[in-house]
Structure 1
């Protein structure tokens, strides 16, 4: 128990999904940063989120396991495996590279919560660029202001939201 904070406990048997951490005190006692770093695949001691979240799973035993389950507003459901996710995010990274986007440049995403939003996020990270999300409800002026202030290089968007981008060209 942490001083000044009440202990919160529940009967684990009553939960729909059992917690993956069953004994916090034992986990805390046995935790080691060296063990944590050994579990991660960190070339040159650096962490690449795209690699850790997508590619290492796509390149291993989890390649055909579900990475994303997306449900549309009309309740249509799509599932994407880690392999699918890797392929799609690689397409984004390669498209940006083809446009001349380089490591450290700011790439904005203006999209609703659709699979392409996530593929774009990780494609940007794979390239080493800086991912900057834009709220899809923004009008043209807030978009323009944010892109200009951050010295953005490009905006990835959807056909539905393209008129907002066209309005600031």
Structure 2
């Protein structure tokens, strides 16, 4: 009889402990998850503040002035800062050169303010020009291959004619 009472009491205490532990787990999750969800927002604020901070000193050495810096998108600025921060100056130079090349297709020269609509239009013009350059390069390579093939065929025909005589 005491065994049955002890087993029932152990079951009751174990069940009570289980319920308490599960409640503590749920309460902890309710506290921790909302706090963790704010971490990306803080990171975004830091990135925004980095972009507002201005042009790095190294930029003038790479051929970028304040007007160019303020005329390119924030994403390009962030990438260039990251390249410089990791010691990849060659990538930063190439990115700046690409930004300068894109801005050459603008209707008006850069004035130090970034306008998304104008940038998208300029970017479309630059991409169309790059596609045209690529097609011309492919056509030129094909013409060279065809010229070499014709020259080879003419040479082989001349050799065959000499061999026949």
> Is the shorter-chain TM-score for this pair beyond 0.5, marking a shared fold?
no
**TM-score, length-scaled by structure 2:** 0.21
TM-score between both structures, scaled by the size of structure 1: 0.21
More strand by share: 1
Of Structure 1 and Structure 2, which has the larger fraction of its residues in helix?
Answer: 2
Q: Which has the larger radius of gyration?
A: 2
